[in-house]
C-alpha cells in the first residue's frame, strides 16, 4: 500500500468534495494551467481559443469543443438540439478561466477557494469597492439566465485577475450547473452567501464552504 503524503492529502480531500462535473474538469484545468505557467505554446493557444468563446453559447465555437463540451462526462451529456446544463456550466468555467489566467504568472485556478470565498476576499480587500462587488455578486447569484450570470461573473473575474486572486474553477463548474437546475440553485446560493460573508481578508479556511459537495438532482 502506498502511503499518502501530507501534501497529497488536501488535494485528495478537495477532489472528493467536487461533484461529477468538477472532477471531470479538475485534472484538465490543472494540466492546462501547469503548461501555461511553463509558457508552453500549445497551452497559450488553447487559452486564446477559449477566450474567443466567452459570451457565446456552449457548443457554438467548434475550435474549443474538445476543451468544453467534450469535457462533459458521458452520463451528463444529452443528444437534443440545445446545450445541456452541464455543457453550459463547463463552457462557462473554461472560458472564464481563460479570461482570468490571461497575462497572470500565478495560478488562476486555485483548488479549494470557491467563487463566494474569492469574491468575499475581493470585497474585503478594498472598502471603496465593497458595495459594487457585493452588488455584482448578488446579481450573479440571482441571475435568471446563463447569459445574465456570465455577464456579471465576467466583471468579477476581471477584478479578481487585477487583484491577483485565484479561485476553484472545477467547483465553479459544479456551482453553475447547480444554479441552472431547480434542485440545486437554492443550495448553491446558500453556500455562496455563507462563504462570501464569512470570508476575512487573510483567511485561507474554506471548511464551511460546501457548495459543491453534491451533484444537482
CATH value at residue 22: 1.10.520.40
Query: Whose CA is closest to 180, among 92, 113, 98, 51?
Result: 92
- Report how many domains make up the chain: 1
Asked whether the beta carbons of 141 and 196 are under 8 A apart, the reply is no
Angle, CA 90 vertex, CA 85 and CA 96 arms, to 5°:
125
Tens of pLDDT along 164-196?
Answer: 999 999 999 999 999 998 889 999 999 999 999
Residue 201 confidence (pLDDT): 56
- Asked whether residue 113 is domain-assigned, the answer is yes
Write the CB contacts of 35 (distance below 8 Å, at least 6 apart in sequence): 42, 43
- Asked whether residue 112 is domain-assigned, the answer is yes
- Asked whether residue 59 is domain-assigned, the answer is yes
pTM comes to 0.86
- Asked whether residue 192 is domain-assigned, the answer is yes
Residue 101 confidence (pLDDT): 98
Residue 14 confidence (pLDDT): 59
- Asked whether residue 108 is domain-assigned, the answer is yes
Residue 90 confidence (pLDDT): 97
Residue 109 confidence (pLDDT): 98
pLDDT above 70 covers what percent of the chain?
Answer: 82
Query: Whose CA is closest to 21, among 184, 210, 174?
Result: 174
- Asked whether residue 1 is domain-assigned, the answer is no
Q: Which positions of the chain have pLDDT values less than 70?
A: 1-16, 126-128, 199-217
- Asked whether residue 77 is domain-assigned, the answer is yes
Which residue segment(s) compose the domain that 143 sits in? 8-198
- Asked whether residue 143 is domain-assigned, the answer is yes
Amino acid at each position: 500500500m502506498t502511503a499518502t503524503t501530507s501534501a497529497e492529502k488536501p488535494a485528495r480531500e478537495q477532489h472528493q468534495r467536487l461533484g461529477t462535473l468538477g472532477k471531470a474538469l479538475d485534472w484538465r484545468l490543472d494540466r492546462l494551467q501547469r503548461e501555461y505557467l511553463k509558457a508552453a505554446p500549445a497551452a497559450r493557444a488553447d487559452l486564446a481559443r477559449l477566450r474567443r468563446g466567452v459570451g457565446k453559447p456552449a457548443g457554438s465555437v467548434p475550435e474549443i469543443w474538445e476543451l468544453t463540451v467534450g469535457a462533459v462526462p458521458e452520463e451528463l451529456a444529452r443528444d437534443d438540439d440545445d446545450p445541456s446544463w452541464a455543457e453550459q456550466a463547463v463552457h462557462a468555467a473554461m472560458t472564464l478561466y481563460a479570461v482570468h489566467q490571461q497575462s497572470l504568472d500565478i495560478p488562476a485556478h486555485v483548488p479549494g477557494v470557491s467563487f463566494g470565498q474569492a469574491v468575499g476576499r475581493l470585497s474585503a480587500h478594498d472598502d471603496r469597492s465593497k458595495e459594487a462587488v457585493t452588488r455584482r455578486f448578488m446579481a450573479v447569484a440571482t441571475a435568471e439566465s446563463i447569459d445574465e450570470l456570465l455577464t456579471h461573473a465576467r466583471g468579477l473575474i476581471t477584478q479578481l485577475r487585477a487583484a491577483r486572486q485565484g479561485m476553484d474553477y472545477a467547483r465553479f463548474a459544479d456551482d453553475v450547473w447547480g444554479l441552472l437546475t431547480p434542485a440545486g440553485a437554492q443550495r448553491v446560493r446558500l453556500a455562496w452567501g455563507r462563504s462570501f460573508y464569512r470570508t476575512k481578508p487573510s483567511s485561507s479556511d474554506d471548511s464551511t464552504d460546501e457548495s459543491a459537495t453534491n451533484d444537482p438532482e
